[in-house]
Structure 1
Amino acid sequence: MKYCAFLRGVNVKGTNMKMADVCQVFKEAGMQDVSSVLASGNIVFSSDKNAGELRIILEKAMSDHFSYEAFLFIKSQEETQVFWDSIPFEKNNDLHIYAFVGNPGVENVLMTEFEAASKAENEKALIIKDIFYWQVPKGNTLDSSFGKVLGKKSLKDQFTSRNINTFEKILKKMN
């Protein structure tokens, strides 16, 4: 089965790694057809194991190799397609749209945080098919009230986010 591993916290805040090295760790952990998409920690691969087994194996392999606490989220090709097919917002050159990959139920935690945050004009969030989507004006991602919530240490093992354009690139690589 084809999967994508979405790594959390890669190439930000001092956790730097080359995607070629990450791909090698995946290969050494028994994954096949391994390749990366962008430098933000998206690894496409094949395996006969289920997503739960893969997460345990790959988090340990990444943590051991890179000497950091690795968090990653595994989605099948079909699950990854749902992220792209369910985008609730119209594309707009002035706005970023993010989808959040995470543990079951994290979309509700994120929505609670979003509802409590102050918002910029055109900043919106929706949950579609248990996926949290966030639209934010370009240039406001890290400065927004909700953007600051995303860095909370208490949430670091719960989710990661990607610009929706990344899902398009991942799906092209999977196909």
Structure 2
Amino acid sequence: MKYCAFLRGVNVKGTNMKMAEVCEVFSNAGMENVSSVLASGNIIFSSNQNAEALKIILEKAMSEHFNYEAFLFIKSKEEVERFWNSNPFDKNENLHIYAFVGHNEVETVLMKEFENAAKTEGEEAKIVNGIFYWQVPKGNTLDSTFGKILGRKNLKDQFTSRNSNTFEKILKKINS
């Protein structure tokens, strides 16, 4: 089965790693047809194991190899397609659209935080098919109140996010 692993916190805040080396760690952990998409920690691979088992195996392998506490989320090819197809927002050159990959029910935690945060003009969030989507004006992602909430340590093992453009690139590669 084809999967994509979404690593959290890769190549930010001092956690630097080359994607070729990450792919090598995945291969050494028994994954097949391993490749990366962008430098933000999107690893496509094949395995006969289920996502829960893969999460445990790969977090352990990454933590040991890179000497950090690895958090990653495994989604099947079909689940990745759902992230792309469920996007409720129209493309707009002035806005970023993010989808959040995480544990079950993380979307409700994120929506509660979003609803309590101050918002900028054009900032919006929706849950579609159990997926949390956030639209924010370009240049405001990290400065927005919600963006700052997303960086809290107590949330770091709960989710990671990707720009909608990243999902498009992942899908092109996973389907090739």
Give the TM-score taking structure 1 as reference length: 1.00
- Output the CA distance in 2 between the equivalents of 1:105 and 1:86: 17
Matched residue type, 2:146: F
Matched residue type, 1:14: G
Q: Does 1:77 align with 2:92?
A: no
Q: Does 1:53 align with 2:53?
A: yes
The Cα shift of 1:129 comes to 0.4
The Cα shift of 1:166 comes to 0.4
Identity of aligned residues (%): 75
- Output the CA distance in 2 between the equivalents of 1:153 and 1:59: 18
- Find the residue that maps to 1:107 and give its secondary structure: helix
Please give the per-residue CA displacement for 1:79-126, whole angstroms capped at 9, x wherever unaligned: 000000000011000000000000000000000000000000010000
- 1:17 is aligned to 17
- Output the CA distance in 2 between the equivalents of 1:164 and 1:94: 14
- Output the CA distance in 1 between the equivalents of 2:82 and 2:3: 13
Q: Does 1:99 align with 2:99?
A: yes
The Cα shift of 1:4 comes to 0.0
The Cα shift of 1:11 comes to 0.2
The Cα shift of 1:25 comes to 0.0
- 1:112 is aligned to 112
- Output the CA distance in 2 between the equivalents of 1:139 and 1:11: 19
The Cα shift of 1:41 comes to 0.1
Please give the per-residue CA displacement for 1:1-39, whole angstroms capped at 9, x wherever unaligned: 000000000000000000000000000000000000000
- 1:159 is aligned to 159
- Output the CA distance in 2 between the equivalents of 1:43 and 1:100: 16
- Output the CA distance in 1 between the equivalents of 2:142 and 2:84: 23
- Output the CA distance in 1 between the equivalents of 2:84 and 2:61: 29
- 1:128 is aligned to 128
Matched residue type, 2:20: A
How many residue pairs match? The answer is: 175
- Output the CA distance in 1 between the equivalents of 2:126 and 2:163: 15
- 1:147 is aligned to 147
- Output the CA distance in 2 between the equivalents of 1:110 and 1:121: 19
Q: CA RMSD in A?
A: 0.3
- Output the CA distance in 1 between the equivalents of 2:92 and 2:8: 26
Please give the per-residue CA displacement for 1:49-81, whole angstroms capped at 9, x wherever unaligned: 000000000000000000000000000000000
- Find the residue that maps to 2:121 and give its secondary structure: coil
Q: Unpaired segments of 5 or more residues in structure 2?
A: none
